[in-house]
Amino acid sequence: MEILLCNGYDEISEKAAAILADTVKENPAAVLGMATGSTPEGMYKRLIERYEAGTLDFSAVETFNLDEYYPLAAENEQSYHYYMNEKLFKHINVKPERIHILNGEAKDADAECKAYSNAIAAAGGIDLQILGIGENGHIGFNEPGEYLHADVHKTALTESTVNANARFFATRDEVPRYALTVGIGDILRAKKILLLASGKAKANAIRALLDDRITTSLPASLLKTHPNVVLICDRAAFGEE
């Protein structure tokens, strides 16, 4: 795993945006795996700036988001549909038909997951996967547990994740208890992975990620089996502050 140690959040955002922009410049039809949460927001801002400056064109890219709460309507301001539209998609020229996000309102969650897997395969797989990391080491919504899932699936959120994400909702009770998420196999099939981590709250997860063990109790540790992962983190997440 390559580590880019940054002096703060802005540097993380700039480095991540530069790598994503280079990927799209090299391959205008790149398939991008998108992440939500606070961490990638700065990267998205910088991508919008590049688009507005005319140096980046998203017209041929295809995007697949990692996950979505379940059940939750796309119009709900806490949905990842809403987030992606507000933070990135409505500001750039990505084609709506090339945007894929799991449907948090699907009646048949299993069928939705299967269709999503098929769509990723039909696109030829993910070229660049952006990831944040949960305080408990989750990636996407692949939560720590006795076992992990390889494929797109419905999952229950852990108490730790419900608590961590409650800050975005009016009350803790409003946090959906389930999510649809791509699996660890889907993530590991990406050609390249960028893992972003900022702040002290992530230091335990990053410390555990950087020792030699691989365990389902730290889903991000599976990334150590992938040949092309770049961890972009600040000193606080690295445990130096």
Region binding ligand GLP by CB under 6 A among candidate stretches 35-43, 52-60, 111-119, 169-177: 35-43
Question: Residue 107 to residues 91, 110, 113, 177, 194: CA-CA distances in angstroms?
Answer: 30, 9, 11, 16, 32
**Of residues 150-169, those binding ligand GLP (CB under 6 A):** 161, 165
Instruction: Give the CB-nearest residue to ligand GLP.
Output: 132
Task: Kindly tell me which of 104 and 134 has the beta carbon lying closer to ligand GLP.
Answer: 134
Question: 103: how many CB neighbours lie within 10 A of its CB?
Answer: 20
In three-state secondary structure terms, 88 is: coil
CA atoms of 12 and 28, how far apart (whole Å): 23
Contact with ligand GLP (CB under 6 A): which of 33, 132, 144, 219? 132
Q: Is the CB of residue 187 less than 8 Å from the CB of residue 151?
A: no
Of the candidates 138, 153, 186, 234, the residue annotated as catalytic is 138
In the residue annotation, 173 being an active-site residue is answered as: no
Alpha helices in the chain, H assignment, sequence order = 9-26, 41-52, 80-87, 109-122, 159-165, 184-188, 203-210
Task: Kindly tell me which of 62 and 176 has the beta carbon lying closer to ligand GLP.
Answer: 176
Question: Least distance to ligand GLP from the beta carbon of 147, Å?
Answer: 19
**Which residues belong to the active site?**
67, 136, 138, 143
Q: What are the residues binding ligand GLP (CB under 6 A)?
A: 35-39, 66-67, 132-134, 140-141, 161, 165
